[in-house]
Amino acid sequence: RMDQALLLIRNELPAQGLRLAALSGACHQCLYQFLAFVPPSNGSLREPGTAAVMVDTQHPLTLLLSGSAGDRELCKIQYHFGEFGNYSLVVKTLSTSTKTVSCDLVINEGPINSYLPILFAFLVYMGIFAILIVGRLFMKIDPVRNWVYKKLNPRETDRLINSELGTPNTTDSVSSDPTPRLWSTASQQRLRSLDTFRGLSLIIMVFVNYGGGKYWFFKHESWNGKLHFPSALFSRFVFIMGTSISLSLSSILRWGSSKWKVLGKIFWRSFLLILLGIIVVNPNYCLGPLSWDNLRIPGVLQRLGFTYLVVAALELLFTRAGAESGTLEMSCPALQDILPYWPQWIFILMLEVVWLCLTFLLPVPGCPRGYLGPGGIGDFGNYPNCTGGAAGYIDRLLLGENHIYQHPSSSVIYQTVMPYDPEGILGTINTIFMAFLGLQAGKIILFYRDQHKQIMSRFLIWSIVMGIISAILTKCSKEEGFIPINKNLWSISYVTTMSCFAFILLLLIYYLVDVKRLWSGAPFFYPGMNSILVYIGHEVFENYFPFKWKMQDSQSHAEHLTQNLTATTLWVIISYVLYRRRIFWKI
């Protein structure tokens, strides 16, 4: 199978059976897991005892060979096996007098290079982008442009030439856009960088949700540590949602809308997001009616809906007139985008105190107080039913075990048996904090309107501050910090780290797209304009053609990658067509 290799153990010891156990390099403080018993060799027939096992190739393994009684460690080998490789582990006696045992690992058949499909796909997409760029340059040449449009539509050649050649102008883009204007009346141009940022995060999220070619690094981290692609996607989406809240509410209130009317819309939109999330996360199209007995309550859209409700209501209720325009007198001009909103900051800091108290002080039956581990075989198997500590306990207590996610990412490496939901109740507090930091980015854009250097310098400062906080919380360590980076828990260090990267990414995209205009944001701009439709659509139609089809070889990364990239590309094309037809789905 994918991510596996074959290991044949040859035991040439004449009178001793062997026990083979393994420990994954990605499993922190874990117990060795028994793999196979290898019988002793048949001395009279000179036939070694053999056993064959499948070993994991995603992470380095430590193999431990001991006597059959488990009382003597014979050898320990650390090795990173290659996918579809064929290996032999030969155990024999070097000296009968000293009873010295040697363990030699032999490669019978070399592994394949499973990363070649990624390189090929990269070259294909780069080729397509190169062709599009060259075509765009040719279309700027008047004779070429006139000839192309004459061939495409001879009767409307004049109208097309005199138009903006299919690119929506500023007035059309703003008036037809379903969201409120995000800029001042003097400059009614929508910030393309925000939609590009949102679309980039969304499209990678779609690719990962479809399987990511079944590569392990496109899957969520088992527990603490390394920030794979999937670990950053949802957080970026939350971040840019906060930025959009700041800009859109500012625009709405400038146009004189009643706060109570806007608050009603906020409640309604949050309700719809939560409802859609429950429907989408519980697909049961072919199994009959859904049963409440196993209905999953938390989910991505549910958390987005509740986070939107809290952050948007907070921004609406505590917004001060004249704050964003800079007309209020400030004792500290360097903090003019923070001080007017001190009630919001106090509320957010109070939420963080609640998270810290519940996480580290709430008694959890059978678990040490403040436990942040994965349970299962982690922590040497001492707390197998403590997955997620207080976060998991609160979800199981308030929602019930049958109404949360049953197969957490920790179940693969740490062999956890308890259900745990990465979109649970306690982690929502830090999701609100993440959206609030995105809200802060929006305030920076409003305060320093059209002052590009000021905006980018503030983004950089916020990124540095968040990075320093992350370094302190984690001690720059994967496992040994005060609060490790953990996407499953949505730990505070995870939020500060992700916001550090989010500010930097937004700075880069803002500079390229809105300041220097070196990049239009395509193709990510288009799904960013229809994010809810693309997200819900990719979930609903995930198992339908042409987004999925029967493969000839289900154990081929190349086939999975082709299918997942095709499905993701189709959603980009769909979003582009909807954009050209001015179709935007808003909630």
Same domain, 197 and 90: no
> Cis omega (within 30 of 0) on the bond before 523?
yes
As a whole number, mean pLDDT of residues 178-193 equals 51
Cα separation of 541 and 537, whole Å?
A: 6
Contact 511, 181 (CB under 8 A): no
Average pLDDT, the chain: 86
Rounded to the nearest 10 degrees, the angle between the axes of helix 259-281 and helix 531-540 is 20
**Percent with pLDDT over 70 in the chain:** 87
Indicate the helix (H) or strand (E) that contains 305. Answer: helix 300-318
Comparing 113-117, 261-265, 329-333, 410-414, the range with the smallest average pLDDT is 329-333
- What pLDDT digit, counting tens, does each position of 485-507 carry? 999 999 999 999 999 999 999 99
Please give the pLDDT value at position 166. Answer: 37
Two tokens, residue 243: 């930025």
Instruction: Taking residues 160-176, report their average pLDDT.
Output: 38
Confirm whether 428 is domain-assigned: yes
DSSP-derived letter for residue 174 is: H
- For 29, the domain range is 4-109
Residue 173 counted as domain residue:
no
Q: Is there a single domain that holds both residue 103 and residue 226?
A: no
Residue in the block written with tokens 């994967």: 478
Q: Can you tell me the distance from the alpha carbon of 418 to that of 406, in angstroms, rounded to the nearest whole number?
A: 8
Residue 455 has pLDDT above 60, yes or no: yes
Whether residue 184 is predicted with pLDDT greater than 70 in this model: the reply is: no
Among residues 227, 236, 196, which one has the least CA distance to residue 438?
236
**How large is the average pLDDT for residues 365-390?**
93
Rounded to an integer, the average pLDDT of 391-407 is: 93
76 and 202 both lie in a single domain: no
- List pLDDT tens digits, range 302-316: 999 999 999 999 999
Q: What is the pLDDT of residue 264?
A: 94
Residue 486 structure tokens: 């953990």
Label residue 560 exposed, middle or buried (CB < 10 Å: 0-12, 13-18, 19+). buried
**Closest to 491 measured CA to CA, from 585, 390, 368, 366:** 390
Q: On the CB side of 386, how many CA atoms lie within 13 Å of its CA?
A: 23
- Are residues 212 and 355 part of one domain? yes
pLDDT confidence bin for 258, thresholds 50/70/90: confident
pLDDT tens digits along 190-201: 789 999 999 999
State residue 141's pLDDT score.
Answer: 83
Q: What pLDDT sits at residue 96?
A: 62
* 459, part of any domain: yes
Based on the domain organization, do 414 and 301 belong to the same domain? yes
pLDDT per position as a tens digit, 120-161: 999 999 999 999 888 888 888 888 778 777 776 655 444 443
pLDDT at 420: 94
The secondary structure of residue 82, as a DSSP letter, is: P
Among the listed residues 508, 523, 516, the one whose alpha carbon sits nearest the alpha carbon of residue 568: 523
Assess contact for 586 and 532: CB atoms under 8 A: yes
- State which of 109, 131, 151 marks the end of a domain: 109
Name the pairing type of β-strands 86-95 and 4-11: parallel
pLDDT in tens, 72-100: 788 899 999 999 999 999 988 876 665 77
402-435 pLDDT per residue, tens? 999 988 988 889 999 899 999 999 999 999 999 9
Residue 331 pLDDT class (50, 70, 90 cuts): low
127 falls within a domain: no
Q: Are residues 283 and 425 in the same domain?
A: yes
- Asked if residue 429 belongs to a domain, the reply is yes
Both 373 and 508 in a single domain?
A: yes
pLDDT digits (tens, 9 = 90+) for 317-327: 887 655 565 55
Q: Show which of 88, 109, 130 is a domain's final residue.
A: 109
Report yes or no on 135 lying in a domain: no
Residues 428 and 530 in one domain: yes
Residue 181 has pLDDT above 90, yes or no: no
Interatomic CA distance for residues 365 and 367, integer angstroms: 6
Task: Select from 60, 77, 109 the last residue of a domain.
Answer: 109
pLDDT at 369 exceeding the cut of 90: yes
pLDDT in tens, 8-46: 999 888 777 889 999 998 898 998 999 999 888 876 557
In a domain, 210, yes or no: yes
Same domain, residue pair 216 and 93: no
Whether 276 maps to a domain, the answer reads yes
Residue 485, C-beta contacts closer than 8 angstroms, at least 6 positions apart: 224, 225, 227, 470, 474, 478, 491, 493, 494, 497
Q: Give residue 164's pLDDT band: very low, low, confident or very high (50, 70, 90).
A: very low
Q: Are 313 and 437 found together in one domain?
A: yes
Percentage, residues of the chain above pLDDT 90: 58
Which CATH number is 98's domain given? 2.60.40
Active-site residue set: 220
Mean pLDDT of 520-531: 92
Give yes or no: residues 71 and 203 share one domain: no
Residues 105 and 212 in one domain: no
Domain count, the chain: 2
- pLDDT tens column, 197-255: 999 999 999 999 999 999 988 888 888 876 666 667 889 999 999 999 999 998 888 88
**What pLDDT, on the 0 to 100 scale, is given for residue 172?**
39
